[in-house]
């Protein structure tokens, strides 16, 4: 028992310094690790005129890629595809998912989304 205590106490400042340096190195390296996360998010269309109706998928599945610390800053409950209906025409419009419709930080990339061929159909009510 005395030998174990002596092993712990011997060079204690050096051991504590090594522990702190190791923790800091681990924190820096793991924070820059690039990772992916997949989410099911709603499709939100706004500025739709009162004399128009819209058909679109309610949700899409989205895969994001970014450094881990950036993905942690995103509130995944607030993620949505935002489509301005004033930019759509009557008929079928392709659903495009990118930074302009997701409002993501600059270093977060869209790796994949599905359905790929999703469309938004605008019809005129008479």
The confidence score (pLDDT) of residue 41 equals: 95
Co-location of 3 and 47 in the same domain: no
Contacts of 118 (CB under 8 A, 6+ apart): 56, 57, 60, 94, 95
Beta strands in the chain (DSSP E): 34-46, 52-55, 59-67, 81-84, 91-94, 109-114, 119-124
Question: What's the pLDDT score for residue 123?
Answer: 93
| Residue 77 belongs to domain with CATH number | 2.170.120.30
17 backbone φψ class: left, alpha, beta (φ>0; ψ -120 to 50): alpha
Instruction: List the domain range (segments joined by +) for residue 19.
Output: 1-31
Helical segments of 32-123, H only: 68-73, 99-102
Instruction: Look at residue 98 in the predicted model and tell me its pLDDT.
Output: 87
Query: Quick one: 23 and 85 in the same domain?
Result: no
For residues 77 and 105, state if they share a domain. Answer: yes
- pLDDT tens per residue, range 65-81: 998 888 888 888 889 99
- Is the full-model pTM beyond 0.85? no
Segments of the chain scoring below 70 in pLDDT: 31-32
What is the per-residue pLDDT for 32? Answer: 66
Q: Are residues 63 and 9 in the same domain?
A: no
């Amino acid at each position: 028992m005395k030998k174990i205590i002596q092993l712990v106490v011997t060079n204690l400042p050096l051991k504590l310094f090594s522990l702190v340096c190791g923790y800091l190195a681990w924190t820096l390296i793991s924070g820059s690790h690039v990772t992916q996360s997949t989410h099911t998010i709603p499709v939100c269309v706004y500025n739709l005129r009162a004399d128009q109706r819209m058909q679109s998928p309610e949700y899409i599945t989205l895969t994001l890629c970014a450094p881990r610390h950036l993905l942690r800053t995103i509130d995944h409950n607030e993620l949505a595809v935002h489509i301005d209906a004033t930019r759509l025409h009557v008929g079928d419009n392709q659903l495009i998912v990118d930074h302009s419709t997701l409002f993501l930080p600059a270093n977060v990339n869209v790796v994949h989304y599905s359905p790929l061929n999703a469309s938004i159909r605008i019809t005129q009510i008479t």
